[in-house]
Structure 1
Amino acid sequence: MMKYLKIFSFLFIVAAVQSCISADEDPVSVPPFTGSVSDPAVDGATQPNQVWIDLSDVNPDTKKVNQAINKRTDWDLGFYSGDDYRVVLNGSIAMAVSKIPNATNINNVKEADVSSLMNQVVVGPFGTSVLQYVDNPNGNFLTQTTGIAPIKENDADNPVYLLSLGKNIGSATNVSPGSVSLSGSSRGWKKIQILRAPNGYKIRYANLNDTTFKEYIITKDAEYTFNFFSFTAGSTLQIQPKKKNWDLAFTTFTNEVVDPSTGVSAGSYFFADFVLTNTANGVGAYQVNAVGNLDQAYKSFKLSDVDASKLISNDQRAIGDKWRTTTGTTEVDGAFVYANRFFVLKDAEGFYFKLRFNKMKNQDGERGHPNFEFEPL
């Protein structure tokens, strides 16, 4: 009888608590009770997909993490929904941008006016001067001085830009094991000008030799970090999940190459197999170097072992490419996952997780097939 009374009391308390929650209040987030395994659908050696993952969003049936997936070419620009007026490039397709000197009227700009500039606005390891044409790879877009400048209140203060649309997704079908084929043909160029609009932005855009521009209004949406715009669609579309509904993203990425021995930058470079963290909404992570056996070190790691002072919350590359290496030229000694480290992640809700990467290739040696496991701490 006592056992049933306890059960009844517990159910009564649960019902009472639930009744106190307003119907239009979001439920309190809780981490998954057990760990899970994820196979992000990057989709092979051309790595066509961006994959957004929330470690707390585990499918109750499959016991795997749900994924939000889009093609890398689905979007071009991201428009910040916060108080500031900032615009970011699609670094997953190697986009780049530059102000057009002395240009004030977008309709007057012709390809001949920017032909020399087109040779400079590129992504590649061609010296540090190239970094001015891309977003700061650390993800701190609110304070960056590269890429597109903050959008000014006075229309006349907003420049006309030359925008490289980057590269199409690679189309190679016979990629050597351990290699990737990320970039296809050029996606071309646009001339653009971005102005403020009530609670949002107004983008003007055209092909380089067009004498009239198209215009589109982008309204801020406080539920999302960015509203994403596509020139192909001529409209906005959803790419990232809501602000706090993703922790990790698997993507290709425009990064900065730095010589580890000298600390000297070689400029921008296009990376495969990259993992971003949602630092814009408070996600932090750090690497744990395993002493001895990785399995044992990972399994024994507890919440009390977390060193919060090591969390990197101001650089979206906290995991980045640190989980894998691409040294070597054959399937045997080429790309592989490091077997001496795992990572700690603190999500936007303040929950801690440990995660380890298990593979980056399938059984045939094809890149773009990552796998990782994680557990809440």
Structure 2
Amino acid sequence: MSNFFKYVFLSAFVIGLSSCEEELKLPDNTIQFESGQLGFASNETELTINVNFSRETSNEGAIEITAEPTGVEYGAQFTTEPAMVGNKLTIPVAAGATGISFKIIKPGGVVFLGDEQIKFLLSTNVEGLVIDGNSELLLTFAELIATSGAIDINGGGANYPNKVFIDFSANRQAAVDRTTWDLGFSSGGDFRAVLNSSNGMMAMALDKTDLNAVTAADTIGMGAMLSHDAVFAAINLPTPPSWVPDAINWIDDPSGDLAKTAIAGVSATASENKVYIVNRGSGPGTPSVPLGWKKIRIIRNGTGYTLQYADIAATTFSEVQVTKDTDHSFQYVSFATGVVEAEPATARWDIAWTGFSNATNFGAGPVPYYFQDFILQNTAGVETAQVLTADIAYEDFTEANLGGTTFSDARTNIGSSWRSGGGPGGGPSLKTDRFYVVKDADDNYYKVRFTALTIGGERGKPKLEYDIVKNGK
């Protein structure tokens, strides 16, 4: 080969390597306060403030947050965890972290006038982290009724590890690891338990009431039935098995109707409460991580519940006592850690973004089918409506338009209607021809539109913006 052709070849090779390096270079790992403005309500004693990263960080270091209080003094009217030194908090960042948080705490007996506030400013020395978005946060020591906002939903990424609750008037979101709980117990007058739909959980009753009498023999054949994957495989057979129409009864009704849960109502007569086999579904991962199986039985305990549970082959079982709390719609239990908090107080959220066990009809009746990027609404006083931009633009929608808008209190009213695809029909995309109106339990009306389904092509990090249409107060 002549020197000329060697030169051309080597030049092309080097340029190719350079191009590959440019293609493989990741975008900036951006960080920001989860919200730009928050209110610290009078009935709250502590508040967690989050700083979110757009992805895991590769490096260690620290984030420094500077506080500028007005009308409030550190140590007298508030403290922080970790403690502030001077007017700064220094919070370590470990490699692999996706965010950091700190707490603001009110001491008992302090009275606030409502005009006290703290401005927090963000800085970092962690290599690879770039501040973008909410670099400042204004915290007011009063109830906040937000007039507008933009939220980067902290779903956690393509494996959708979080269920995220959003409170528009407070300009807050609360991201909950979906694997931190297994069962929810109604705090209402009924005695009902729900499954962790976000993990794709399913349950099937046995004709037994003694947990210790249940063995692996009682579960023969369930592995080929009691999962979303098993149901989907079955409906794609030339002749689906006869059990397929029953599969819809192994998940809670997607509407949230507590009369249609997979686990029957808990009877006051203990001997009527049967043992259930539960497939706990799967957690985040590539591939997803099976969470295993349990046998359970639920009985009443006065005005609360007793949950009995064990591994399938176990000859003894554990118990958890669950007490109803009227501030929360449900009390949650993890088989690993007992009673946990997995949802904000009922009055503290409007909608939730999550993975969800929905029902879909592929031609032979409804069957369980798992949806990503699903929106649920709080059924305790929240109503929503869809508005098409062909009828009126988002910017033009005002209080005068509320009278002609039809609202629904159905839990799945928004559902997946804000996006296209993401299932057998093709890739996901955002629908830009619509927005929504959300009426919260305090009669505040907000118009809401989703502005992104993915970030850099990755699902699990959608965005929305909202503006108040009518203040309920």
Question: Does 1:140 find its partner at 2:257?
Answer: yes
Q: Flag the structure with more relative contact order, 1 or 2, with Cα contacts below 8 A and sequence separation at least 6.
A: 1
Residues 327/227 of structure 1: CA separation in 2 closer, same or farther (3 Å cut): closer
Given that 2:212 and 2:317 are in contact with CA atoms closer than 8 Å, whether structure 1 keeps it comes out as yes
Per-residue CA shift, 1:7-52, capped at 9, x if unaligned? xxxxxxxxxxx99xxxxxxx997732x2110011002111111111
Find the counterpart in structure 1 of residue 299 from structure 2.
195
Question: Does 1:89 find its partner at 2:185?
Answer: no
Given that 2:144 and 2:170 are in contact with CA atoms closer than 8 Å, whether structure 1 keeps it comes out as no
Give the superposition deviation at 1:329: 9.7
Alpha-carbon separation, structure 1, partners of 2:164 and 2:300: 31
Alpha-carbon separation, structure 2, partners of 1:218 and 1:327: 38
- Alignment partner of 1:252: what SS? strand
Partner of residue 375 from structure 1, selected from 435, 456, 467: 467
Where in structure 2 are the equivalents of 1:46-195 lying within 5 Å?
46-58=159-171, 66-101=172-207, 103-123=208-228, 124-125=231-232, 126=235, 127-141=244-258, 143-144=259-260, 146-171=261-286, 184-195=288-299
- Alignment partner of 1:85: what SS? coil
Alpha-carbon separation, structure 2, partners of 1:189 and 1:369: 30
Given that 1:107 and 1:210 are in contact with CA atoms closer than 8 Å, whether structure 2 keeps it comes out as yes
Give the superposition deviation at 1:212: 0.8
Given that 2:214 and 2:312 are in contact with CA atoms closer than 8 Å, whether structure 1 keeps it comes out as yes
- Alignment partner of 1:195: what SS? strand
Give the superposition deviation at 1:307: 4.4
Give the superposition deviation at 1:119: 2.6
TM-score with structure 2 setting the length: 0.64
**Largest Rg, 1 or 2:** 2
Given that 2:161 and 2:283 are in contact with CA atoms closer than 8 Å, whether structure 1 keeps it comes out as no
Residues 258/56 of structure 1: CA separation in 2 closer, same or farther (3 Å cut): same
Alpha-carbon separation, structure 2, partners of 1:306 and 1:56: 18
Given that 2:205 and 2:275 are in contact with CA atoms closer than 8 Å, whether structure 1 keeps it comes out as yes
Find the counterpart in structure 1 of residue 407 from structure 2.
311
Given that 1:100 and 1:114 are in contact with CA atoms closer than 8 Å, whether structure 2 keeps it comes out as no
Aligned AA (2:407) = L
Find the counterpart in structure 1 of residue 428 from structure 2.
335
Find the counterpart in structure 2 of residue 283 from structure 1.
382
Name which of structure 1's ranges 71-80 and 265-274 shifts more when overlaid on structure 2. 265-274
Partner of residue 251 from structure 1, selected from 344, 348, 354: 354
TM-score with structure 1 setting the length: 0.80
Given that 2:154 and 2:461 are in contact with CA atoms closer than 8 Å, whether structure 1 keeps it comes out as yes
Question: Does 1:207 find its partner at 2:311?
Answer: yes
Find the counterpart in structure 2 of residue 231 from structure 1.
335
Give the superposition deviation at 1:83: 1.0
Given that 1:128 and 1:268 are in contact with CA atoms closer than 8 Å, whether structure 2 keeps it comes out as no
- Alignment partner of 1:373: what SS? strand
Residues 129/53 of structure 1: CA separation in 2 closer, same or farther (3 Å cut): same
Alpha-carbon separation, structure 1, partners of 2:314 and 2:424: 46
- Alignment partner of 1:113: what SS? helix
Alpha-carbon separation, structure 2, partners of 1:328 and 1:97: 24
| Identity across the alignment (%) | 34
Count of aligned pairs between the two proteins: 319
Aligned AA (2:395) = K
Give the superposition deviation at 1:138: 0.9
Residues 99/28 of structure 1: CA separation in 2 closer, same or farther (3 Å cut): farther
Give the superposition deviation at 1:104: 2.1
Aligned AA (2:465) = E
Alpha-carbon separation, structure 1, partners of 2:189 and 2:424: 48
Question: Does 1:40 find its partner at 2:157?
Answer: no
Aligned AA (2:442) = E
Per-residue CA shift, 1:294-317, capped at 9, x if unaligned? xx700000122124762110x211
Given that 1:204 and 1:214 are in contact with CA atoms closer than 8 Å, whether structure 2 keeps it comes out as yes
Question: Does 1:241 find its partner at 2:344?
Answer: yes
